[in-house]
């Protein structure tokens, strides 16, 4: 571990608790739907309302999500874990207790590793446990009353708890992004932070290097990476200022207000409830046989870092490229299809990380919404590789293909609006090259004529170059490219120039 | 006119199948007996619903699609939720509550063809042993109206004893089927924990609650229990994955060959409960009123071919504290859902959320329920959990192990159900601990989850019924019923009716 960055002589210590809503169709202990955004209380069945006589029955799909995450993070999958009741009264907690795991969680240990400023950082996990979400209290919609929406009650959650291994807000955000990437990659969580599918609580404390851990304050419900960074930075500054002013930090739960950029204490340790945890007698211990774990392992998607290693091994990509391309499953798949079709892995990587990503970023889109088919990109790369067109020309073709596609109103389907619809993708690329006249002039006799004319017209540059000023060459390339209407191959121009002048 | 009221389940089923009487006729006659609510046994009746069910039964009997118990009336303890009748668990907090679904036990008995007469009084949330804790008034013992019927299934026991219904359901958490059955001179059985689904039972103590039938003979109980039991894995995670079976199959086996390997049945008498020596029972803490009929019953069983021997159950003495820790802990959590937010009683006036909770629950729960909630919350509290709850769970396992050692030496265990016969109403109202102590013989089998029943063995000098408890090993209901049936074939205690009903 590298030396921690100090802030005003203090070391920052951060641990995370993340609630990931599991992407199961039904709830953790009932068969009601988990879909987001339905009318209040339309997705709450008798069990979710805690009607007398209802009993929880474990949703195996939620357990499989836990197993998948455990496998992805190198954790121990507990062969026997126990559900416990966390008892407290709140109107959006229908049973008066939350079913969670307390003493024996299903996922134990493991780690999340990520690159930050060129260094690999590893955050150890304590555990990840299964539990049910509560409903929502709607305080704004009613005057003098609160509404309760129990659609969310019983939605399966995995609470993922780290050791206090992070030493800056940058590390914290990088950890959260990596965890987000993993849960969405393996598909156990949709990762939608606005809808609350991925909620982070940060436990923040500061201390003098080498000293005992400081008292922590827990920032609840950080639902964007931007707020996460702002909240932690504010909290750290606040805690240091308090200590510097001679005040001790009180253990507390705080909320971040994005409008003011400040954190504010919600409750202190003194008000902490006694949750009276005890094993839930309605649920026998969760037993996960080794065969179940192996079956889930066999069905799991290739993990990003495993895929990255394969990209390095099989495609000869630099590690940086491999790590970048495996940031999302869609991006990796896009790259692979392109690379396999054109046989030019490094060029494909450059295009995917460069032009394609640039275009997507400009539209705030993701690789699910990429507008140029990987086979079209592969055809284009093939034309660059065989010197049919220049890189610049290729970008024009790419632009033409990209802008010829639009999404229709409902955002889903692609509509191709150009005349090349239905044409084979490689023919389409060739047709655009033809139509735009981008074919490079690879005939050297014609090019030589142009070069000779330009050399004759620019004797000063020729002289300077011969005198040893290599930059003078640039003054010649420009006019040659212009005279060739951009069709000259710049590499070929350079070669011919050097030959003629050398 | 045939005296239908004095017929049992098997006899009524036979008459109905032979069409010697119609289901509507049976229902009408039994409904007529409920006028004025004798003994305050019923909490809800609805003759329209009952007669509609009876008409449907007659249609099935005519069509030849009748279930085995088609048209036979039954009444349900008010802790089973029902769509067609109000369910209150004898608590003010559930006044007027109507469930959108039927308990599995209710559904299965309907599927077997039974016609529901109504809902039966009991101790509030099944907490009590005298039926004096009902929010809707005490139930009186049909044998002597100044005495308690026992509890918590007091309404069930009184209704069956008074011939208001041929059968009733009960629930048994710590003796709530066996003790009122004994006090009212009827037969009742609690199956192995997990045999009968708990889905739709208003939960008191989840790890102990079991449903069972209460009727006037072991033969009837076998028919009823066979219909009630069976796996319900989609609704109750503690339901045993054991197929429903015909629990009447061994009723006719002579005791001389009902033991292991066809040998004589061996009855173990725990020396800690009542010392079996020189052919008699001794226990200074058990009333002679109970010991004498019990001794006689054991001698009769010996005459029928059984062998009686002493067995040890050393840890049974700890059953009372263990039970009241475990049951109260679970109850304190199970009853949290009655908070005035979603259903049931809510205080009329309150200033804020906390006030609403406090008033609702203070008004809605009776003293005994409050006592147990507080006891339960206490034993689960931070700092007390290890000393009470955890310790109790350890001893609970020891008690179960103790039984297994005993069952290595015998086929069934016999002993008293309660130390005394039914006491006078009000006699123990101010002494909850005295009430708890009276559960000493029923608690161990509940804690171990074993099948157990109460069989009438005679009367006290004062004419109050006395029951004998029979405990079998796990899933050994058929054997326990066999012993009880053989005893009843040769005795008439179970046919005795209280004066008013005869």
Per-position DSSP letters for B10-75, written without gaps between them: HHHHHHHHTTSS-HHHHHHHHHHTTTT-GGG-EEEE-HHHHHHHHHHHHHHHHHT---TTTT-EEE
pLDDT at A282: 98
Mean pLDDT of B285-296: 92
Asked if residue B205 lies in contact with residue B113, where contact means CB atoms within 8 angstroms, the answer is no
pLDDT beyond 50 at A138: yes
Is B77 annotated in the active site?
yes
Q: List Cβ neighbours of A355 (8 Å cut-off, separation of 6 or more).
A: A395, A398
Give B 13-52 residues with CB within 8 A of chain A: none
pLDDT at A426: 66
Find the CB nearest A278 among B81, B233, B329.
Answer: B329
Asked if residue B376 lies in contact with residue B333, where contact means CB atoms within 8 angstroms, the answer is yes
Please provide the distance, in angstroms rounded to a whole number, between the alpha carbons at the two ends of chain B.
16
pLDDT beyond 90 at A487: no
Cα–Cα distance measured from residue B223 to residue B131, given in angstroms and rounded to the nearest whole number: 27
pLDDT at A410: 56
Cβ distance B385 to A91 less than 8 Å, yes or no, reads: no
Residue A38 to chain B, least CA–CA distance (Å): 20
| Largest CA-CA distance found in chain A, in angstroms, rounded | 98
pLDDT beyond 80 at A205: yes
pLDDT beyond 50 at B426: yes
- For CATH 3.40.190, list the domain ranges present in chain B: 255-307+402-426+445-501
The better pLDDT of the pair A492, A286 is held by: A286
pLDDT at A442: 67
Cis upstream peptide for B498 (omega within 30°): no
Cα–Cα distance measured from residue B357 to residue B353, given in angstroms and rounded to the nearest whole number: 6
Cβ distance A52 to B81 less than 8 Å, yes or no, reads: yes
Q: List Cβ neighbours of B277 (8 Å cut-off, separation of 6 or more).
A: B310
Q: Which of A15-29, A264-278, B32-46, B471-485 has the lowest mean pLDDT?
A: A264-278
pLDDT band at A419 (very low <50, low <70, confident <90, very high): very low
A199-233 burial, b for 16+ CB within 10 Å, e for fewer? bbbbbbbbbeeeeeebebbbbbebbebebbbbbbb
pLDDT at B274: 75
pLDDT beyond 60 at A421: no
Using alpha carbons, list the distances in angstroms from residue B371 to B94, B366, B391. Answer: 18, 9, 21
Mean pLDDT of B378-403: 94
Task: Report percent pLDDT > 90 for chain A.
Answer: 62
- What secondary structure letter does DSSP report for B395? H
pLDDT at A425: 66
Which pair of tokens denotes residue B182? 């004994």
- For CATH 3.90.1300.10, list the domain ranges present in chain B: 4-228
pLDDT beyond 50 at A417: no
pLDDT band at A420 (very low <50, low <70, confident <90, very high): very low
Mean pLDDT of B130-144: 97
pLDDT at A450: 85
pLDDT at A472: 78
The better pLDDT of the pair A333, A433 is held by: A333
Give tens-digit pLDDT for B160-214.
999 999 999 999 999 999 999 999 999 999 999 999 999 999 999 999 999 999 9
pLDDT at A373: 87
Mean pLDDT of A36-57: 94
pLDDT beyond 50 at A413: no
pLDDT at A430: 82
Which chain B residues have a beta carbon less than 8 Å from that of A278?
Answer: 329, 333, 380, 385, 389
| Residue owning tokens 């006589």 | A53
Asked if residue A74 lies in contact with residue A54, where contact means CB atoms within 8 angstroms, the answer is no
Cβ distance B343 to A49 less than 8 Å, yes or no, reads: yes
Cα–Cα distance measured from residue B398 to residue A435, given in angstroms and rounded to the nearest whole number: 88
Cα–Cα distance measured from residue A359 to residue A403, given in angstroms and rounded to the nearest whole number: 10
Mean pLDDT of B129-138: 96
Q: What is the helix (H) or strand (E) element at residue B187, kind and residue range?
A: strand B187-190
Query: What torsion do the CA atoms of B474, B236, A29, A66 make, to the nearest 10 degrees?
Result: 30
pLDDT at B406: 96
Alpha helices for A2-117 (secondary structure H): 60-72
| CB-CB neighbours of B458 under 10 Å | 20
pLDDT at A392: 84
* Active-site residue, selected from the candidate residues B99, B134, B140, B152: B152
Find the CB nearest A53 among B200, B234, B339.
Answer: B200
Mean pLDDT of B321-343: 97
CATH architecture type of domain B4-228: Alpha-Beta Complex (3.90)
Cβ distance A55 to B235 less than 8 Å, yes or no, reads: yes
When the pLDDT of each residue in chain B is averaged and rounded to a whole number, the result is 95
pLDDT band at A64 (very low <50, low <70, confident <90, very high): very high
Mean pLDDT of A295-306: 94
3-state secondary structure of B122: coil
Find the CB nearest A281 among B99, B206, B335.
Answer: B206
Find the CB nearest A51 among B80, B99, B335.
Answer: B99
Task: Report percent pLDDT > 70 for chain A.
Answer: 94
pLDDT beyond 80 at A409: no
Strands A107-108 and A147-149: unpaired
Mean pLDDT of B282-295: 88
pLDDT at A418: 47
Q: Which of A207-216, A219-228, B434-443 has the lowest mean pLDDT?
A: B434-443
pLDDT at B283: 74
Q: Is B87 on the interface with A (CB under 8 A)?
A: yes
- What secondary structure letter does DSSP report for B121? -
The residue among B333, B343, B355 with the most chain A CBs within 10 A of its CB, best to mutate, is: B333
Q: List Cβ neighbours of B59 (8 Å cut-off, separation of 6 or more).
A: none
Q: Is B199 on the interface with A (CB under 8 A)?
A: yes
Q: Which fold has domain B255-307+402-426+445-501?
A: D-Maltodextrin-Binding Protein; domain 2 (3.40.190)
Q: Is B357 on the interface with A (CB under 8 A)?
A: yes
* CA proximity to A205, closest of A7, A12, A18: A12
Which chain B residues have a beta carbon less than 8 Å from that of A89?
Answer: 336, 339, 357
Residue A249, Cβ density class (10 Å: 0-12 exposed, 13-18 middle, ≥19 buried)? middle
Cβ distance B238 to A54 less than 8 Å, yes or no, reads: no
What structural domains does chain A harbor? 9-293 (no CATH), 305-436 (no CATH), 444-501 (1.10.10.410)
Task: Report percent pLDDT > 70 for chain B.
Answer: 98
When the pLDDT of each residue in chain A is averaged and rounded to a whole number, the result is 89
Q: Is B439 on the interface with A (CB under 8 A)?
A: no
């Amino acid at each position: 571990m590298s030396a921690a960055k100090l802030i005003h002589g203090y070391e920052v210590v951060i641990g995370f608790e993340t609630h990931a809503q599991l992407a199961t169709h039904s709830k953790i202990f009932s068969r009601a739907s988990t879909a987001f955004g339905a009318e209040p209380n339309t997705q709450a069945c008798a069990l979710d309302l805690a009607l007398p006589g209802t009993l929880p029955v474990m949703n195996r799909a939620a357990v499989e999500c836990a197993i998948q995450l455990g496998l992805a993070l190198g954790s121990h999958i507990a062969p026997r874990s126990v559900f416990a009741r966390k008892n407290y009264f709140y109107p959006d907690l229908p049973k008066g207790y939350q079913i969670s795991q307390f003493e024996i969680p299903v996922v134990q240990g493991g780690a999340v590793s990520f690159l930050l400023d060129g260094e690999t950082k590893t955050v150890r996990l304590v555990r990840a446990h299964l539990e049910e979400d509560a409903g929502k209290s709607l305080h704004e919609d009613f005057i003098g009353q609160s509404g309760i929406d129990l659609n969310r009650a019983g939605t399966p959650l995995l609470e993922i708890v780290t050791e206090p291994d992070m030493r800056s807000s940058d590390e914290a955000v990088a950890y959260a992004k990596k965890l987000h990437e993993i849960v969405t990659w393996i598909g156990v969580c949709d990762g939608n932070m606005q809808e609350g599918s991925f909620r982070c609580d940060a436990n923040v404390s500061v201390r003098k290097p080498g000293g005992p851990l400081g008292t922590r304050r827990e920032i609840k419900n950080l639902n964007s990476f931007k707020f996460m960074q702002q909240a932690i930075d504010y909290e750290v500054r606040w805690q240091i200022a308090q200590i510097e002013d001679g005040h001790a930090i009180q253990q507390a739960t705080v909320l971040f207000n994005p409008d003011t950029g400040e954190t504010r204490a919600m409750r202190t340790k003194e008000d902490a409830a006694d949750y009276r945890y005890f094993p839930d007698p309605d649920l026998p211990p969760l037993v996960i046989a080794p065969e179940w774990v192996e079956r889930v392992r066999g069905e799991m998607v290739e993990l990003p870092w495993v895929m990255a290693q394969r990209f390095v091994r099989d495609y000869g990509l630099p590690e940086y490229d491999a790590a970048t391309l495996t940031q999302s499953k869609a991006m990796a798949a896009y790259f692979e299809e392109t690379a396999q079709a054109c046989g030019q892995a490094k060029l494909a990587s450059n295009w995917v990380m460069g032009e394609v990503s640039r275009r997507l970023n400009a539209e705030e889109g993701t690789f699910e919404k990429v507008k140029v088919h990987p086979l079209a990109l592969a055809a284009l790369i093939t034309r660059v590789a065989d010197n049919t067109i220049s890189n610049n020309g290729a970008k024009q073709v790419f632009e033409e293909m990209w802008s010829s596609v639009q999404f229709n109103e409902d955002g889903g389907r692609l509509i191709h609006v150009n005349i090349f619809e239905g044409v084979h993708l490689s023919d389409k690329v060739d047709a655009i090259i033809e139509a735009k006249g981008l074919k490079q002039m690879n005939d050297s006799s014609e090019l030589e004529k142009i070069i000779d004319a330009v050399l004759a017209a620019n004797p000063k540059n020729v002289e300077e170059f011969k005198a040893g000023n290599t930059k003078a060459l640039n003054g010649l390339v420009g006019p040659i490219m212009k005279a060739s209407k951009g069709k000259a191959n710049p590499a070929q121009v350079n070669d011919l120039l050097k030959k003629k002048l050398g | 006119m045939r005296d239908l009221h004095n017929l049992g389940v098997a006899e009524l089923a036979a008459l109905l199948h032979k069409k010697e009487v119609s289901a509507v006729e049976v229902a009408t006659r039994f409904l007529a007996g409920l006028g004025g609510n004798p003994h305050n046994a019923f909490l809800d009746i609805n003759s329209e619903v009952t007669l509609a069910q009876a008409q449907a039964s007659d249609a099935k009997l005519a069509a030849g699609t009748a279930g085995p118990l088609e048209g036979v009336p039954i009444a349900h303890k008010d802790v089973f939720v029902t769509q067609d009748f109000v369910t209150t668990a004898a608590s003010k907090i559930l006044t007027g509550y109507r469930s959108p679904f039927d308990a599995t036990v209710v559904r299965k008995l309907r599927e077997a063809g039974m016609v529901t007469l109504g809902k039966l009084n009991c101790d509030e949330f099944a907490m009590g042993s005298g039926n004096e804790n009902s929010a809707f008034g005490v139930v009186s013992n049909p044998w002597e109206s100044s005495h308690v019927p026992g509890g918590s299934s007091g309404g069930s026991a009184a209704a069956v004893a008074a011939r208001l219904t041929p059968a009733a359901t009960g629930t048994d958490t710590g003796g709530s089927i066996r003790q009122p059955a004994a006090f009212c001179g009827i037969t009742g059985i609690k199956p192995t924990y997990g045999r009968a689904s708990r889905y739709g039972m208003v939960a008191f103590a989840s790890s102990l609650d079991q449903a069972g039938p209460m009727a006037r003979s072991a033969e009837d109980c076998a028919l009823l229990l066979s219909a009630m039991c069976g796996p319900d894995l989609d609704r109750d995670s503690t339901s045993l994955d054991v197929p429903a079976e015909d629990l009447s199959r061994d009723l006719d086996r002579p005791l001389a060959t009902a033991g292991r390997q066809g040998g004589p049945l061996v009855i173990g008498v725990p020396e800690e409960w009542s010392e079996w020596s020189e052919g008699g029972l001794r226990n200074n803490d058990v009333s002679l009123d109970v010991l004498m009929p019990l001794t006689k019953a054991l001698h009769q069983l010996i005459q029928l071919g059984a062998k009686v021997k002493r067995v040890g159950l050393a840890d049974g003495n700890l059953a009372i504290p263990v039970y009241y820790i475990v049951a109260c802990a679970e109850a304190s959590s199970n009853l949290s859902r009655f908070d005035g937010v979603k259903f049931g009683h809510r205080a009329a006036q309150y200033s804020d959320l906390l006030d609403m909770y406090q008033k609702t629950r203070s008004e809605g729960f009776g003293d005994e329920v409050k006592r147990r909630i507080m006891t339960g919350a206490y034993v689960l509290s931070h700092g007390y959990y290890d000393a009470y709850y955890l310790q109790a769970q350890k001893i609970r396992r020891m008690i179960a192990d103790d039984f297994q050692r005993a069952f290595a030496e015998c086929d069934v265990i016999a002993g008293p159900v309660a130390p005394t016969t039914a006491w006078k109403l009000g006699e123990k109202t101010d002494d909850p601990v005295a009430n708890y102590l009276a559960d000493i013989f029923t608690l161990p089998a509940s804690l171990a989850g074993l099948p157990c029943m109460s069989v009438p063995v005679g009367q006290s000098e004062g004419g109050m019924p006395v029951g004998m408890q029979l405990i079998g090993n796990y899933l050994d209901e058929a054997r326990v019923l066999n012993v009880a049936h053989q005893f009843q074939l040769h005795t008439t205690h179970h046919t005795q009716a209280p004066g008013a009903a005869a």
